[in-house]
Each structure stands twice: as C-alpha cells, then as structure tokens.
Structure 1
Amino acid sequence: MKAVVYVGPRQVRVTTVPDARIERHTDVLVRVTTSNICGSDLHMYEGRTSFAPGRVLGHENLGEVVEIGSAVDRVKVGDMVCLPFNISCGFCANCEKGLTAFCLTTNPDPCLAGAAYGYADMGPYNGGQAELLRVPYGDFNCLVLPEDARDKQTDYVMLADVWPTGWHATMLACVQPGDTVAIYGAGPVGLMAAYSALLRNASCVMVIDHHQDRLTKAEEIGAIPIDDSRSSPVEQILELTQGIGADRGCECVGFQAHDSEGSERPNMTLNALVKSVKFTGNIAVVGLFLPRDPTGRNDLYKRGEMAIDYGTFWYKGQTMSTGQCNVKNYNRQLCALIHEGGARPSWIVSHELDLDDAPEAYAHFDAREKGWTKVVLHPGKAG
C-alpha cells in the first residue's frame, strides 16, 4: 500500500509499505479515504521527537471498513468509520473512567499510558496517511458514522482529533454560557476551541495570534481576532474585559510557541494566560508540551521545563487543567451535531489533496504559509 513515511527532519516520502492487515481477532481493517495533517505531526516532521524513520504518519483518520476480525461484533464491513487518535482497549481502569487518552494496555512501554496512530512514544502503531489502517479493538475504537458520511467526510474526519480537542479545551476551562474566553493560538485546534466556545454560548471569544489568515478564519465565526504583533495581547484582553480579564483561557499552541518576531518561547502563552485570565478563572492547556526536547534552546527547555509565573497564578487563585483529549468522551455527541446540521467543522479546511501531494503539503503547512490552515489528504475515495 502507499503511505506517507517519515524519512528525517523535514522529510517525508510517499512510498510503498507492507499492507496493513488484521493481526488480532478484535482488529478492524479500514480503507482510509480521508486523513488530516495535524499540527502535532509537525513536531515529528521537524525531527523534535523520537519518531523513527520508516514509520507511517497520520492520526486523524476516516474510511470504510473492508475486513473485520472474528471477535468483532458491532462494526460491519462497509461501515464508514472515524477513528479517535487515541488507541484504547475499553476495559482497563483508565478507559473505564473515560480516560481513553491514557489507556493502560495499548502502549507496550510499562512506564507510559496512552497510544495513538503514527505518533512518537505512543506505541508501535502505524498511522493512517496511507491506503489501509489496522484498528485495534475495533468495536470500541470505531465511531460508526451516519449515512451521510461519504458526502461529509471533511466534516466527520474532524472528529478524530482536532474538534474533540478544541471541545476538550472548553471543557477543561469550564466554559459556561455568557463567559468571556481568551484562546491563545489560531491554528486548527485554537480555531476549533473558539468554535466550540461559541457553540457553548460564550458571550465573547478572543483569539490571539499574529498570522493574519488564521485570525481572519477566527473572525469568520464571530470571534474577536487579537494580533499580538501590534501590542500586548494581555493589554488588549484587559481592555476588552474592563480590566477584569477573561473568565476562561485556553492554551492551544504548545511548546513551540513563537513571538511575533519569530523567536521560540515555550513559556510565552502560559504566562500570558495567567495575566489574561481573571482572579479565580480557569485555564485549559491542550497545546502539546513534551517531557524532553533535545532541540530546545537552553537546558531548561531541553528537559521539558520552563519558567512559569506561579506566584501570580497562585495569588489569583486560578485553576489549570491539562492533557491530551479523551476523544471518545465527545466524538459521538459532536457527530450528532454534524449529522443534524448544527455544526460544520470543515470550515477550517484550506486544502484537500491527494496522498501523493503529502510532501509538499507538509512543507507548506510547516512553514505556516498564508492560507494553509488545515490540510486534508485523500488516499482513496469510498465507492
């Protein structure tokens, strides 16, 4: 089968690899028809993780079931399914609590919890930027989609990661109707967090970035764009909230945060949120932070550590919640919103391309070139 394979820093190749296949009785085999490039893929693409050359990328996947293991009961051949990026068993202590991002059985490393498709340190599983994908524990992990799935693939594929993660940010931040919300980062996750906050009836959603095309996308849905290259985003947020600060804040950038001059500052957004959110406010951190970063510009960052304004955070009585999204907690209800016409997450998509176009797409997306907000790859279309 054809697949997008990691070669080395800023190098991917579309090449032929052994076909994915049923390996256990509980597996499902999916012919991938739609797979997104995620901002998290870029950390591996840039060579900042332990992702090994030769592995297949892609953890935001949708497709048609073409084969099922003998122990699969619910999922049927021909079903269109979307796969949470979390690979989870459904029966461990964490999965039973809904913490499927921290499954205790699917990662073979006993010191780690959680597994994913085509992702560094999250198990040996290949990704879905390929023609075929093996889905472990298929009955648990496959979200069987409604009958309109073939016509709305760019909407439903967002259920694999980016929209649930944006929704997760609003849940961790405890967004309530009428709240003011500050979202740092207008990449795909930040845009989905803004979209989610508005769906949850926030009264004012402010999105902070310095990429004008991404701020324009935020403005399209009624969010207030804040350009941090013009003046302090904290001051702009305080002005918009009468000096009080936002009720809730969401960090949707991660450790590769850059200031408007292009310098990487991993602690920038976290400290800005502490200053931007009101006393007793809630902060959610869904941007990716790593326990180690060999390319970090100082010893602190290389150890995955950073200087946080904890004194102000403590003094203001704020609450911070973090972690990867447990996709299955949200994907079914968000799927219903798409099916019933209450949401159209595909509005963030800027490019739909063939699988063969992946190397160029990675290069454009990694450079944050104007207009490249969300890339969708089509390995093959369902008949």
Structure 2
Amino acid sequence: MKALVYNGPRDVQVKNVPDAKIERATDVLVRITSTNICGSDLHMYEGRTDMEAGRILGHENMGQVIEVGKAVDRVKVGDSVCLPFNIGCGFCENCERGLTGYCLTVNPGFAGGAYGFAGMGPYSGGQAELLRVPYGDFNCLVLPPDAAEKENDYVMLSDIFPTGYHSTELAGVKPGDTVVIYGAGPVGLMAAYSAGIKGASQIMVVDTHKDRLKLAEQMGAIAIDDTEGAGVERVLELTGGKGADRGCECVGYQCCNMHREEVPNLTMNNLVKTVKATGGIGVVGVFIPKDPGAQDKLAKIGQLAFDFGQFWIKGQHIATGQANVKAYNRKLCNLIHAGKARPSGIVSHELSLDEAPQAYENFDKRKDGWTKVVLKPGK
C-alpha cells in the first residue's frame, strides 16, 4: 500500500509499504478515503518530538470497512466509519469513565494511545491506503447513509471538531457566556464554532494570521488581530474591563509573539489576563513533558513561567488535556447529519496522498490560505 512515511525532520515521503492487516480478532481493517493533516502532525514533522523514522503519520482518519476480525460483531464490511484519533480498549477504568484519550491498556506504561503519533504507542497512522483499527467494535463510529455526501464534514469527527468542542467543555462554556479563544488555526476555529453551538453570547478569537481570522469572522466570532501585540487590551475593552467568562487555549507550546518568536508561556498568561475573576480556562493546545528543540530553557524541560499568582488571586480554574473523542463524536455526528453543523467550512485544500509532502511543507510554513488539508488516498 502507499503510505506517508516520516524519515526525519521536515522529510516525509510517500512510499510503498506492507499492507496493513488484521492482527487480532478484535481488529477492523479500513480502506482510507479521507485523512487530515493536523497541526499536531507539524510538531513531529519539524522534529520537535521523539517520533521514530519509518513511522506512518496520520491520526484523523475515515474510510470504509473491508475486513473484520473474528471477534467483531457490530461493525460490518462496507460500513463507512470515522476513527477517533485516540485508541481505546473500552474496558479499562478510564475507558469505562469515558476518558478514552487516557486508555490504560493500549499503550503500556502510558495513559493514552493514538494512530501515527510520537509516544502514543506502536500504531501506524492513516495517511495511507489502509489502516488497522484495534478494538474495532469500540473505536469505529459507524456513519449515517450520507457519509459520502458529507465526507469532509464527517472526517472532522476524528479529532478537530471534538477537540475544539472539548476546549469549550474544559472551560465550562454555557449559553450566554462570553468566550475568548487564543488561536485561529483549525482547533481554535472549531472551538469558536462549538462555542456558537453552545449559545455563547460573544466569541472573540485572537491570532496574527489574517486569513484565519477571516474564517473566524465567518463563524460569527469577533476577530482580534494581535499582530501589534494589543490583543489583551482589545479583549478587555470588549468585555468592559472584566474579561471573558471563559477562555480556550488552542495554540500550544510553539506559540509565537508578534515577531514570530516562540514564547511558550504567551497564550497561557494572556488567558489569565483576559479571563475574568472566577472564570474558566480550557487548554487543548499541545504542551509536552520536554522540548529539547526549544530556545527557552524552561520549555526544554517542559516547564512554563506561568503567572500563577494572578491566576490564584483571580480565583480562576483550569482544565487541560487531549479530547476524549468518543465522549462527543456521536452527538456531533448527529448535528452534521441533521444539517445543523458543517465543520468542513475550514477545509482549504483537498489533495491526493501523493501531494502530501508538499502539503506538509506549505502547512508548516503557515502559508496564507492553508488552513485545513484533507488527503484522499484513493484520488
């Protein structure tokens, strides 16, 4: 099969590799029809993780079931399915609690497993023609009959839509709340979209990329251009000086200032400044235990100079971590099927798998107009 293989920093290549196959009785084999490039993939692409050479990338996957293991009885050959990026067993303590992003069995010694991701187990990614899905009955979301018609919407259920929604859950967004979101990339845009679904009264999105801020405006958010570093003042102005009820961090450890210099603590401290006293903050941007490639000494060992005194004195609360996709994907799927959600509005490019290396390069450079890339292995 063809697959996108990580060779090393900024070096990915489409290669012919052995076909993915059923390995255990609970596995499902999927022919991939859509697979997204995620901002999290760029951390690995840039060599900022411990991703091993030879691994297949891709954790946002959708396709058609072509084979099932002997122990699979719910999912059928021919089903269109979307796969949560986090792999769960369905029976450990965390999975039973709905915390499938922190499964205790699929990646021994670590809480959580995922496709094609550094440190998240040995599982191959789905930027390929075929994908093996462990615990298929549990991990496959079988899609409605309009799956082909709305494919670019449904593939967003693998990660980006639930992750944006998760940030609003962590922050505690409720109807009528004011919300500030740092980051107008795909996750931030989906957070803004989700805040709208939840009935937020005012949604502000802060970024420096004008093309992405335009998309935020199209979703009904107030776009705040932080190019000159005045984003904090603008949020406070719009909220009468008190700050937003809720805030979402959708950038992560490679956030940059107006000079495009990495400042790992920037968005976290800006959230403390722009969320009101007693407000909630949800963090879904990726922060890692160590970042040897960082310029900042603290960031090298996974630490931040966090304004904890201000955070404490304001009585704010914070929740963090990757989305437990299965906690949200079925309900969000229902919204897509009913025509009440269209997350594909952020898609900027639909390309073949062979075009993936160039797509990674352009996406990594944050070229204008490159917001969300969907790869079509069968194209």
Normalized against structure 1, the TM-score is what?
A: 0.98
Kindly provide the amino acid, as one letter, of the partner of residue 13 in structure 1.
Q
Name the SS of the counterpart of 1:166 in structure 2: helix
Q: Does 1:360 align with 2:358?
A: yes
Kindly provide the amino acid, as one letter, of the partner of residue 78 in structure 1.
G
Partner of 1:310: 308
Taking only aligned residues, the RMSD between alpha carbons, in angstroms, comes to: 0.6
Deviations 1:184-243 (A, max 9, x none): 000000000000001101000000000000000000111000011134211100000011
Q: Does 1:247 align with 2:242?
A: no
Kindly provide the amino acid, as one letter, of the partner of residue 36 in structure 2.
N
> How many angstroms does 1:380 deviate by?
1.5
Out of 235, 238, 254, which is 1:237 matched to?
A: 235
> How many angstroms does 1:311 deviate by?
0.1
Partner of 1:294: 292
Deviates more, 1:277-286 or 1:293-302: 293-302
Deviations 1:308-331 (A, max 9, x none): 000000000000000010000000
Kindly provide the amino acid, as one letter, of the partner of residue 203 in structure 2.
V
Runs of 4+ residues deviating >6 angstroms: none
Partner of 2:342: 344
Identify unmatched segments of 5+ residues in structure 2. Answer: none
Partner of 2:69: 69
Deviations 1:318-364 (A, max 9, x none): 00000010000000000000000000000000000000000000000
Identify unmatched segments of 5+ residues in structure 1. Answer: none
Partner of 1:78: 78
Distance 1:257 1:323 in 2: 17
> How many angstroms does 1:139 deviate by?
0.1
Kindly provide the amino acid, as one letter, of the partner of residue 288 in structure 1.
V
Distance 1:237 1:335 in 2: 32
Distance 1:372 1:107 in 2: 33
Distance 2:137 2:224 in 1: 43
Partner of 1:48: 48
Identity of aligned residues (%): 68
What are the residue-to-residue correspondences of 1:142-291 with 2, within 5 Å? 142-291=140-289
What are the residue-to-residue correspondences of 1:124-135 with 2, within 5 Å? 124-135=122-133
Partner of 2:19: 19
Deviations 1:258-316 (A, max 9, x none): 01111000000000000000000000000000000010113311101010000000000
Q: Does 1:92 align with 2:92?
A: yes
Out of 121, 134, 151, which is 1:136 matched to?
A: 134
Name the SS of the counterpart of 1:264 in structure 2: coil
Q: Does 1:332 align with 2:330?
A: yes
Kindly provide the amino acid, as one letter, of the partner of residue 142 in structure 1.
C
Kindly provide the amino acid, as one letter, of the partner of residue 94 in structure 1.
N
Distance 1:299 1:189 in 2: 27
Deviations 1:125-178 (A, max 9, x none): 000000000000000000000000011110000000000000000111110111
Name the SS of the counterpart of 1:237 in structure 2: helix
Kindly provide the amino acid, as one letter, of the partner of residue 59 in structure 1.
H
Q: Does 1:319 align with 2:317?
A: yes
Kindly provide the amino acid, as one letter, of the partner of residue 104 in structure 2.
L
Kindly provide the amino acid, as one letter, of the partner of residue 24 in structure 1.
R
Kept in 1: contact 2:229–2:258 (CA 8 A): no
Kindly provide the amino acid, as one letter, of the partner of residue 225 in structure 2.
D
Kindly provide the amino acid, as one letter, of the partner of residue 309 in structure 1.
D
Distance 1:62 1:120 in 2: 21
Kept in 1: contact 2:229–2:257 (CA 8 A): no
Out of 373, 376, 379, which is 1:375 matched to?
A: 373
Distance 2:81 2:87 in 1: 14
Name the SS of the counterpart of 1:335 in structure 2: helix
Partner of 2:57: 57
Partner of 1:36: 36
Q: Does 1:117 align with 2:90?
A: no
